[in-house]
Structure 1
Amino acid sequence: MRKLIQACLLAALPAMGWASGGAELPSFKADLSNRAALQRGARTFVNYCVSCHSAEFMLYTRMAQDLGLTPEQVLANMVFNGGDINQTMRVAMAKEDGAAWFGKAPPDLSLAARSRSPEWLYGYLRSFYLDPARPFGVNNTVFPDVAMPHVLVDLQGTQTLHEGHLKAGSPGSLTPGEYDAMIRDLVNFMVYLGEPAKLVRYGLGVKVMLFLLVFAGLAYMVKREYWRDVH
């Protein structure tokens, strides 16, 4: 029951402050067949997101199995809160502290790609700009007046907003192309995070299609043999 209630609350996130500011969203197509991209996205997620956001619907053991990682790799490189690999992606920060620091507790990200969309996340993570009027000195064209600081600024660099358009400011440690690729991998992982069963369905779908092709070939051969006897 507790998980069901959490899922319902997460589905209501758009009404609770995840609203878009009307900015045009870029195109994005998830590729859950790219295991390497999912692994890179998982690395970025645990290093930059789980410090504030939880993903309480995802077990580390399930992620390791789905992404082709060993339990030892996950435990050594992805579990940072002193827990074990059999736990979900919980955040160490108390919700009360998050609410005090950011105005509201950072939401769980298990269903973020489903409650919004991959395009929204992809656009949001690339659209922070300098705004001295905001508490953390940044704003976002996709999510105006966002309470979240730009945690990836050292990688992306800064941006400024001029007449509705984002302009590059000081550079980060990644080139624009490298940063864009990193965000694509991150959002790709968050799409997987929202529905891990997709990987199972995709694998099963390929097997079913192969079976149907073989069955169709056998059925055609039987048909030819049958009608040859009739004629």
Structure 2
Amino acid sequence: MKRILQTLTSVCQASALVLALGFGMAANASEGGFPLDAAPDRVSNNASLQNGAKLFVNYCLNCHAASSMRYNRLRDIGLTDQQIKDNLILNDAKVGDLMTISMTPKEGKAFFGKNPPDLSVEARARGTDWLYTYFRTFYKDDTTQTGWNNLVYPNVGMPHVLWQLQGERAA
């Protein structure tokens, strides 16, 4: 479970770094042939992981569940139950509850063309380097339904929810 938490928070902490980092890509090859950047390794930095948890809850957990994770696993990065309740649980969930969302799969399909994937599964399946690069390679594309596109996952149905942190980019 800690690995999932580290992966999720590492991915989300990367969103805070996108302002400082450009489109420069590392030479690692992805499955689709797009070169992947190496995600920053900050899994032993609790302050960074806590910031990542905050970013995840505020930007990702609205559409994407992390149903293999419970809020109480945030204790692993130094948070108290009270801090979790006050800052990271934004609904009526309890600290021991799974990180689920209220949007149904049917609603997800209607809104985005398909149900947004569970990020606790996606983080394990794709890995941090893929997710890190994915978040950094959105660009403005007025020909798509969301107005955004992605170099790693072309024609993705997800809008660029982190654009205010990263800024607008052209292809």
> CA–CA distance in 2 between the matches of 1:147 and 1:21?
18
1:96-175 to 2 correspondence within 5 Å?
96-161=106-171
Q: Report the CA distance between 1:83 and its aligned residue.
A: 1.5
4+ residue segments displaced more than 4 Å: none
> Does the alignment pair 1:33 with 2:44?
yes
> CA–CA distance in 2 between the matches of 1:35 and 1:120?
22
Q: Report the CA distance between 1:48 and its aligned residue.
A: 0.3
Q: Report the CA distance between 1:108 and its aligned residue.
A: 0.5
Q: Report the CA distance between 1:29 and its aligned residue.
A: 4.5
1:73-112 to 2 correspondence within 5 Å?
73-112=83-122
Q: Kindly provide the CA deviation profile for residues 79-113 of structure 1, in whole angstroms up to 9, marking residues without a partner as x.
A: 11222112010112121111101010101011322
Given candidates 64, 73, 78, the residue that maps to 1:68 is 78
CA RMSD of aligned residues (A): 1.5
Q: Kindly provide the CA deviation profile for residues 166-190 of structure 1, in whole angstroms up to 9, marking residues without a partner as x.
A: xxxxxxxxxxxxxxxxxxxxxxxxx
**Structure number with bigger Rg:** 1
Q: Percent identity?
A: 46
Q: Report the equivalent of 2:33.
A: 22
> CA–CA distance in 2 between the matches of 1:99 and 1:20?
25
Relative to total residues, which structure has the larger helix share, 1 or 2? 1
Question: What is the SS of the residue equivalent to 1:56?
Answer: strand
Given candidates 33, 58, 63, the residue that maps to 1:47 is 58
> CA–CA distance in 1 between the matches of 2:40 and 2:148?
27
Q: Report the equivalent of 1:205.
A: none
Greater CA drift, 33-42 or 43-52: 33-42
The aligned amino acid for 1:54 is: A
**What is the TM-score normalised by the length of structure 1?**
0.59
Greater CA drift, 86-95 or 134-143: 86-95
> CA–CA distance in 2 between the matches of 1:109 and 1:69?
21
> CA–CA distance in 2 between the matches of 1:22 and 1:137?
24
Q: Report the CA distance between 1:126 and its aligned residue.
A: 0.6
Q: Report the equivalent of 1:59.
A: 70
Question: What is the SS of the residue equivalent to 2:110?
Answer: helix
> CA–CA distance in 2 between the matches of 1:113 and 1:30?
15
**What is the TM-score normalised by the length of structure 2?**
0.78
> CA–CA distance in 2 between the matches of 1:112 and 1:34?
23
Question: What is the SS of the residue equivalent to 1:58?
Answer: strand
Paired residues of 1:130 and 1:139 also in contact (CA < 8 A): yes
